[in-house]
Structure 1
Amino acid sequence: MTERYYAGVYWPARLESAEECARRSVTFFRLLSQCDEIYARWYEQGDSMEDALQREFTPDYATFLRFFHREENQLGRDGFSLGAWTGHAEDGRGGMVSLTCGDASGAYPNCCLLYLPRTEVEPEGPRVVAAPVLVNVLRAMVLAWEPLLGVIATDEFRHALRPRRDPRGFSGWLMYLSRTRGEVPPLPPPVRVEPVEDKGTLIVLGPERLSASNPEHLSLGRKVQEVLDSKELLRPVLS
């Protein structure tokens, strides 16, 4: 079975207005569009593929503000949600964004998820799901949303490293830790780290995609996770 990679960033309850969420959304989609050409066009999600393909939108401030003022995109007393799609007609191609922001209650965890093209069945996959591109993807997410944690991995890799109900972060192919979490200690080779401006630290476990089917990849992931756990850097986002 092909493992599907995704990028996710997570932050705790943080009250933000529709205007602030719109500004952050503009920054995210602008930076994401610079990562690869498949992120140049966006569509709202619809009841069917045909419906969604009629909903192309321009990711600018006025558009996002309009989205977040709609009742269907509002979550309780505060908070907003948005789903967007790259518009590739073939099933599973391109990418999809799922966003929750502005929630201060904790009822709707704030996060931004980007589902990446499948590496073995989609022509864009090998090009997009590559470390040089994904470093920029994760940086875009961090600069836009200022999260506490970020990761690029597969569900299979996650479940191999953490019990399903464990709320802590986990070791992925790429990771991000906010500087507010603490200092990142030395990590085993071939891991490399780099700063994301003054926000935090981006961690790349290796140049090749980490897969749950590869024992060496799992061993590296566990070693890195043990080091980060010893410093409590992967504690739950709500803590």
Structure 2
Amino acid sequence: MAKRPTAEAYYAGAYWGPREETPEECAKRTASFLNLLAPWDPLLAEWYRPAKSLKDARMHPLVPPDAATLADLFRSGVNRERGGPAIEQLGFTFWFDNGGPDADCAALRITCGAYSEAVPNSCVMTLPKRGPNADRLQTAHVLAGVVQSMALAWDPDWCVSTSWDHRELLSDEGRTGTFVGWVTYLSRRRGSVPPLPAPVRIEPVEAKGTLIVLTPERFTVVNPEHVALARRVRELLARAGLMQPVTP
């Protein structure tokens, strides 16, 4: 196995099962999400339509969000066979970023409106890898805010924010599935979260579900205590029946 890099890169993702929605409904949720994100960090208040250059992108901001524009972008991202009709049950996919340098930029990829059990709906944010933006965003406070915003806007079954290295470690062990990251959200539809060991923090997200923050310091796979804590919390949540897959 290749040696892992010293600096870990992080992401946040929300995932939910089949839910048929129109481009307009997906746009409304996206607009809500972008508005909820904005107060958490200046970088999260700037998003631009896909373009050939940064200069072109900055001519087409997505914030403040316009529902009609977002609906058109989702509509153009319908899944289809080349030259064939739209595959409506696979929903709509739309991706964009905030126009910064590659290593210090955040990007969003959204799949919404899918009602096939083969493809989950998702909203995945790739976070900056290094630089001043990364330093600000890679904190429990901000990532909890990002996951909370995802939960409120998308009403997902499960959200997670952790490092790609952590996900890779679990994948190597054949345990990716629904797992526990640095920050995790579980919908109330799954049941009640049991008591969890310190230093884990548990918070309600309105009446929708529960936010779980493993540790106030940066979670990293090079810290065996962090990895062990994530495994222990997942075991406890699995016993409570909360870690079932998003799609059957």
Asked whether the two chains share a fold, i.e. TM above 0.5, the reply is yes
- The aligned residue for residue 27 of structure 2 is 22
In 1: Cα distance, 2:177 partner to 2:119 partner: 17
Percentage identity across aligned positions? Answer: 43
More divergent stretch after superposition (125-134 vs 21-30): 125-134
Match for residue 158 of structure 2 among 145, 149, 152: 149
User: Secondary structure at 2:102's aligned position in 1?
Assistant: coil
Q: Shift in Å at residue 18 of structure 1?
A: 1.2
Matching of residue 170 in structure 1 with residue 179 in structure 2: yes
Match for residue 34 of structure 1 among 35, 39, 44: 39
Structure 1 spans left out of the alignment, 5+ residues? none
User: Secondary structure at 2:184's aligned position in 1?
Assistant: strand
Matching of residue 187 in structure 1 with residue 191 in structure 2: no
Q: Shift in Å at residue 194 of structure 1?
A: 0.5
Q: Shift in Å at residue 48 of structure 1?
A: 5.8
In 2: Cα distance, 1:184 partner to 1:9 partner: 18
In 2: Cα distance, 1:158 partner to 1:66 partner: 33
Q: Shift in Å at residue 158 of structure 1?
A: 2.3
> Which residues of 2 match residues 107-118 of structure 1 at below 5 A?
107-118=118-129
- The aligned residue for residue 74 of structure 1 is 78
User: Secondary structure at 2:35's aligned position in 1?
Assistant: helix
Match for residue 56 of structure 1 among 52, 57, 61: 61
Structure 2 spans left out of the alignment, 5+ residues? 80-86
Q: How many residues in Structure 1 have an aligned counterpart in Structure 2?
A: 234
Q: Shift in Å at residue 163 of structure 1?
A: 4.5
In 2: Cα distance, 1:205 partner to 1:127 partner: 19
Match for residue 239 of structure 2 among 230, 233, 237: 230
Q: Is the 8 A contact 2:120 2:247 kept in 1?
A: no
In 2: Cα distance, 1:209 partner to 1:167 partner: 21
Structure 1 residues 61-117: Cα deviation after superposition (integer angstroms, max 9, x where no partner):
1211121232xx1122141111010111x2221200010000111343200001111
Amino acid at match of 1:96: A
- The aligned residue for residue 95 of structure 2 is 83
TM-score (norm: length of structure 1): 0.91
User: Secondary structure at 1:124's aligned position in 2?
Assistant: helix
List structure 1 segments (4+ residues) > 6 angstroms apart after TM superposition: none
